[in-house]
Amino acid sequence: MSVNFLLLCFLAILMWKIGGSKGWLALTALGLNLLFMFIMLILINWGFSPVILTIITSLIITSMNLFFINGLTTKTIVAFFSSAIILIFMVFLIYICVNFMQLQGLPTEELMEMDMYSLNIGISFLSLSISVMIMSAVGAINDIAISVSAAIGELHQSNNELTKDNLFNSGMIIGKDILSSTMNTIIFALIGGQIALFIWVSDLNYSFAHFINTKILVSQWVTLLISGIAITLTIPITSYLMIYRIKKTDVST
């Protein structure tokens, strides 16, 4: 019995004991999300557009994270639409940044390890860079969107006399509390994934100016900044959409 299988069993038991039925749903959604990502990679290899496939896959993953686990409710619908708006905004922002800063392709340091391989893969490295940056922030955007929409929904249920401004300010306060921890998660995930390469680059005796301008560092920094912008914008957009939906429902009833 492999270590991977044992760890998977341990994770499943913990999610079942702690999360109950939602724990099982979350684990199932995780498996399906990995399956969708695997299908996306196959389709990219067949020649389909990486950016379009990434957008579609991100929307599917968002749907799984929201509707499959939490059901079709007002808070999940609002979280989905706010995530979709941020996703479209990210595509344009990433395209401009990557194209302007020429961040596509492999850094020089990684090319040293790939001298024996052909880089003629028939896929645009610009599209691949955009896809990687989009996927790096999808999960965090979903988390903040559902957290803010659910919190505003609960506040309205407990006191339906709260005004739009009260609900919006409460949503912003809740979002600010979540923002710092989410940003820390993204920062350490990006740094942790490249820490060995950073150490190797530091041993190459680059000057400080050369080091901070290496493609590997700049690409990670740009990914972090764009993810931070997207996550931060998710808070007011979700708050506004949730309040609009609540007040529209109140008027109709």
Q: Which helix (H) or strand (E) holds 131?
A: helix 125-158
Distance CA 202, CA 168 (A): 46
Burial zone of 71 (CB within 10 Å; 0-12 exposed, 13-18 middle, 19+ buried): exposed
pLDDT of the chain, 253 residues: tens digit per residue? 588 888 888 888 888 888 777 788 888 888 888 899 899 989 988 888 888 999 999 999 999 888 888 888 888 999 999 999 998 888 888 888 877 777 666 656 566 666 666 666 677 777 887 888 888 888 888 888 888 888 888 888 887 777 788 888 888 888 888 888 888 887 777 777 777 767 776 677 766 666 666 777 777 788 888 888 888 899 999 988 988 888 777 655 5
Are 111 and 3 found together in one domain?
Answer: no
Are 124 and 44 found together in one domain?
Answer: no
Are 14 and 118 found together in one domain?
Answer: no
Are 27 and 60 found together in one domain?
Answer: no
Range of the domain at 77: 49-251
Q: Whose CA is closest to 134, among 41, 39, 45, 223?
A: 223
The domain that holds 62 is classified in CATH as 1.20.1640
Are 21 and 124 found together in one domain?
Answer: no
Is pTM beyond 0.85 here?
no
Are 185 and 147 found together in one domain?
Answer: yes
Are 130 and 229 found together in one domain?
Answer: yes
Tell me how crowded residue 149 is: count the other CB atoms within 10 A of its CB. Answer: 29
Place of tokens 């499943």: 12
- Residue where a domain stops, chosen among 48, 68, 86: 48
Are 31 and 150 found together in one domain?
Answer: no
Locate 34 and state its tokens. Answer: 């990995």
